C-alpha cells in the first residue's frame, strides 16, 4: 500500500512538473529607457523589443515576463540565470560574445551624436579633432560608452560622463553639463522629438547590429532564431517596427 501511495505521489509530481513546463514563462531582461525599442507606458514595458519577444514567446508556447533593470545589469542577469534572454537594442560585439550567445540580428543601429541646436560641434569628426576637449555624455556600458572611451577619453581628446540611462544623458545635455550625447539613432530621434532645442548631427559614428542575448549554451537560442525567421518571413517583424518607427517615404 505504501508503495502504491508513493507511486501515485511520484506520478502526480511528474505530471505537475510537466504541466508547469508546458505553460512555462520566459523571463526577458531589458532596460526600458530606450524608445522605441523599450520604454515604460503606464506600468508596462512596451516597444519593438517587447513586442518581438512577445511574438516569439507566443510562437514557442511560453508566457513572457519582462524584467526592467539597468543596461549594465543585463548581461550579468543572463550569466547568473536570472533571465532567459535579453532584448535591449543590444549591439552584437566580440567582447560580449565572450559571456553571452547572440541570436540572429533583427535590426541595425547607428551610433549618432546629439547636440544643442546652437552647438559648435558640426560633425562627428569635430569630436576627434586635434585639441578637441569636449565633455561627452553616454549611457553607461553601452557601445557608445565603449567607443568614446577609446576614441575620446583614452585618446586625450575630452572626457566622458556616464549616465544610468539615455534620458539622464540627454537631461545633462539640456542642463549644459555635457557638450553632446553619443547614443543609438532611434532613441536619439525620440529624445530629440521630446525635448526642444536639440538636434542630431548628420554624420554617423558607427553602424551596428542588434540581437537578442542568451546565457552561453542556452537551448532556447535555436528555437528563438527559428521563430524570429518565421516572424521576419510573414511580415510580423516589419509590422511591429512600422508601429514604432516611421519607415515611410514621408520621412
Ligand atoms: N546598442 C547599444 C549597446 O548595445 C545601446 C543599447 C542600450 N539599450 C537599452 N535598452 N538601454 O550597447
Q: What is the CA(31)–ligand 1 centre distance, in A?
A: 8
Domain annotation covers residue 214: yes
Does residue 179 line the site of ligand 1, with CB under 6 A? no
Q: What is the CA(150)–ligand 1 centre distance, in A?
A: 17
Assess whether 92 and 7 both reside in one domain. Answer: yes
Assess whether 203 and 228 both reside in one domain. Answer: no
| 84 Cβ contact partners less than 8 Å away, ≥ 6 residues apart | 26, 27, 28, 214, 215, 218, 220
pLDDT, residue 78, reads: 98
**Structural domain containing residue 200:** 110-207
Q: Report yes or no: 147 and 109 within 8 Å, Cβ to Cβ.
A: no
The rounded distance, in Å, linking the Cα atoms of 85 and 220 is 9
**Tens-place pLDDT, residues 142-173:** 999 999 999 999 999 999 999 999 999 999 99
Q: What is the CA(70)–ligand 1 centre distance, in A?
A: 10
- Average pLDDT over the chain, rounded to whole? 92
| Residue 15 vs residue 166, higher pLDDT | 166
Reading the block at residue 198, the C-alpha cell is 536639440
Residue 19 reports pLDDT greater than 70: no
Residue 110 reports pLDDT greater than 50: yes
Mean pLDDT on 225-244: 97
Assess whether 119 and 200 both reside in one domain. Answer: yes
Beta bridge partners of 138: 162
Assess whether 19 and 103 both reside in one domain. Answer: yes
Domain count, the chain: 2
Q: What is the CA(128)–ligand 1 centre distance, in A?
A: 23
pLDDT band at 20 (very low <50, low <70, confident <90, very high): very low
Domain annotation covers residue 251: no
pTM of the complete model = 0.88
Domain annotation covers residue 250: no
The rounded distance, in Å, linking the Cα atoms of 145 and 143 is 5
Q: 112, 139, 188: which to mutate for ligand 1, most atoms within 8 A of CB? A: 139
**Tens-place pLDDT, residues 33-47:** 999 999 999 999 999
The percentage of residues in the chain with a pLDDT greater than 90, rounded to a whole number, is: 87
Domain annotation covers residue 117: yes
Domain annotation covers residue 249: no
Assess whether 214 and 95 both reside in one domain. Answer: yes
- Per DSSP bridges, beta strands 198-200 and 85-86 are unpaired
Domain annotation covers residue 28: yes
Alpha helix positions (H), the chain: 2-22, 48-60, 74-79, 94-97, 143-148, 166-174, 185-194, 220-233, 236-244
Mean pLDDT on 81-89: 98
Assess whether 81 and 146 both reside in one domain. Answer: no
**CATH number of the domain bearing residue 97:** 3.40.190.10
Assess whether 140 and 215 both reside in one domain. Answer: no
The rounded distance, in Å, linking the Cα atoms of 109 and 89 is 8
Assess whether 23 and 91 both reside in one domain. Answer: yes
Residue 22 reports pLDDT greater than 60: no
The rounded distance, in Å, linking the Cα atoms of 33 and 166 is 7
Amino acid at each position: 500500500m505504501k508503495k502504491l501511495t508513493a507511486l501515485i505521489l511520484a506520478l502526480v509530481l511528474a505530471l505537475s512538473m510537466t504541466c508547469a513546463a508546458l505553460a512555462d514563462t520566459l523571463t526577458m531582461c531589458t532596460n526600458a529607457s530606450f524608445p522605441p525599442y523599450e520604454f515604460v507606458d503606464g506600468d508596462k514595458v512596451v516597444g519593438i523589443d517587447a513586442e518581438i519577444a512577445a511574438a516569439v514567446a507566443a510562437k514557442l508556447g511560453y508566457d513572457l515576463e519582462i524584467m526592467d533593470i539597468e543596461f549594465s545589469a543585463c548581461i550579468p542577469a543572463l550569466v547568473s540565470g536570472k533571465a532567459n534572454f535579453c532584448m535591449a537594442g543590444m549591439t552584437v560585439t566580440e567582447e560580449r560574445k565572450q559571456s553571452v550567445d547572440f541570436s540572429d540580428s533583427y535590426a541595425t543601429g547607428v551610433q549618432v551624436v546629439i547636440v544643442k541646436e546652437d552647438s559648435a560641434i558640426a560633425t562627428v569628426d569635430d569630436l576627434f579633432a586635434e585639441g578637441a576637449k569636449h565633455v561627452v555624455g553616454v549611457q553607461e556600458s553601452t557601445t557608445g560608452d565603449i567607443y568614446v572611451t577609446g576614441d575620446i577619453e583614452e585618446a586625450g581628446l575630452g572626457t566622458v560622463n556616464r549616465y544610468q540611462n539615455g534620458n539622464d544623458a540627454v537631461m545633462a545635455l539640456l542642463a549644459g553639463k555635457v557638450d553632446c550625447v553619443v547614443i543609438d539613432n532611434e532613441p536619439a530621434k525620440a529624445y530629440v522629438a521630446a525635448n526642444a532645442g536639440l538636434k542630431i548631427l548628420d554624420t554617423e559614428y558607427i553602424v551596428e547590429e542588434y540581437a537578442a542575448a542568451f546565457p552561453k549554451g542556452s537551448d532556447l537560442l535555436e528555437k528563438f532564431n527559428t521563430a524570429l525567421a518565421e516572424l521576419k518571413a510573414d511580415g510580423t517583424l516589419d509590422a511591429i517596427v512600422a508601429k514604432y518607427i516611421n519607415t515611410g517615404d514621408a520621412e
